[in-house]
Amino acid sequence: MELRSRGGYESTRLPSGTTEVELEQQLSGTCRFNRSWGYDLSNMELWVNSGCAARFKVVTNAESSDSSSSSNTGAAIAAVAAIAGLALIANQVSKDRDQSDNNGYYPDDNYPNRPGGGGWGRQIRGMNNLCLDIEGGVRQGNGLIVYRCSGGDNQRFSFSRNGELRVGDMCLDIDGGSNNDGARVLAWRCSGGPNQRWVRSGNQIRSQMNGKCLDIRDGNARPGQQVLMWRCSGGPNQRWWW
């Protein structure tokens, strides 16, 4: 199966019985799993974004059954691969630690901004290639929207080690700790509260407090549209890339 992004989000239906999708050959762009390509078995959908074009291998139930007869050999190979993978991960962690600066911060977008702002951060893009943005600049109480990507400080986000989603010296905060669909998301001083803790789940950004997702209001992805909390649906207005 071949799928191409022309700079934006593209998707196609997966055949019934699909259990897994593998990238077989990258054709153009940069294809990174769960960043510029991925799949959703709940909606039976394969998607690409940000210029990724590739051929994909779709594994179905029938193919999975055929391979079960060689499960013992497969398990042995998997065990060897797992040991090798753990060694690579350990080596990378060691390298990352070596690259940390004197204050213990890492030049990586997954770590928090430095105290007082000026962190690395990166843009988080959503539907129609719009970026998460703090409306009117990074000031306490300003709301979360999507807007044309500019690279400004109000569009540079980073995940902290304890689940905060930081922008400048503020944190994304669910207004009033509300559990309701449609609750506003604001920039607010970091408090460590549960309404400021987030988790990345595939291409969704979920609240650790209530499990709901960052959602472009009404699925209307236009510059200036609010980003609110809503129950997770897997729709394109709840998918984000960083």
Claim to verify: residue 78 and residue 160 sit in the same structural domain: no
Claim to verify: residue 75 and residue 132 sit in the same structural domain: no
* C-alpha to C-alpha distances, 134 to 13, 28, 171, 183, 225, nearest whole angstrom: 34, 32, 11, 16, 11
* C-alpha to C-alpha distances, 64 to 17, 34, 68, 219, nearest whole angstrom: 10, 23, 6, 36
> Tell me, what's the pLDDT at 63?
60
Claim to verify: residue 234 and residue 131 sit in the same structural domain: yes
Claim to verify: residue 92 and residue 139 sit in the same structural domain: no
Domain end residue (candidates: 80, 98, 116):
98
Domain end residue (candidates: 48, 80, 98):
98
pLDDT in tens, the chain (242 residues): 999 988 888 889 899 888 888 899 999 988 887 668 888 776 788 888 888 999 999 998 876 455 444 445 454 444 444 444 444 434 443 443 343 333 333 333 433 344 333 446 899 999 999 999 999 999 999 999 999 999 899 999 999 988 999 999 999 999 999 999 999 999 999 999 999 999 998 899 999 999 999 999 999 999 999 999 999 988 999 999 98
What is the pTM for the complete model shown? Answer: 0.56
Question: Is residue 116 included in any domain, yes or no?
Answer: no
Question: Is residue 117 included in any domain, yes or no?
Answer: no
Question: Is residue 82 included in any domain, yes or no?
Answer: yes
Question: Is residue 104 included in any domain, yes or no?
Answer: no
Return d(Cα 5, Cα 18) in angstroms, integer. 22
Claim to verify: residue 148 and residue 232 sit in the same structural domain: yes
Claim to verify: residue 137 and residue 232 sit in the same structural domain: yes
> Tell me, what's the pLDDT at 113?
40
Claim to verify: residue 80 and residue 149 sit in the same structural domain: no
Total residue count of the chain as it appears in this document? 242
Claim to verify: residue 132 and residue 85 sit in the same structural domain: no
Claim to verify: residue 72 and residue 137 sit in the same structural domain: no
Parallel, antiparallel or unpaired: strands 157-159 and 165-167: antiparallel
Number of domains in the chain: 2
Claim to verify: residue 138 and residue 82 sit in the same structural domain: no
Question: Is residue 108 included in any domain, yes or no?
Answer: no
> Tell me, what's the pLDDT at 11?
87
Question: Is residue 157 included in any domain, yes or no?
Answer: yes
Question: Is residue 112 included in any domain, yes or no?
Answer: no
> Tell me, what's the pLDDT at 110?
39
Return d(Cα 27, Cα 87) in angstroms, integer. 30
> Tell me, what's the pLDDT at 107?
32
Claim to verify: residue 141 and residue 93 sit in the same structural domain: no
Claim to verify: residue 167 and residue 77 sit in the same structural domain: no
Domain range enclosing 213: 127-238
> Tell me, what's the pLDDT at 108?
36
Find the CATH number of the domain harbouring 136: 2.80.10.50
Question: Is residue 187 included in any domain, yes or no?
Answer: yes
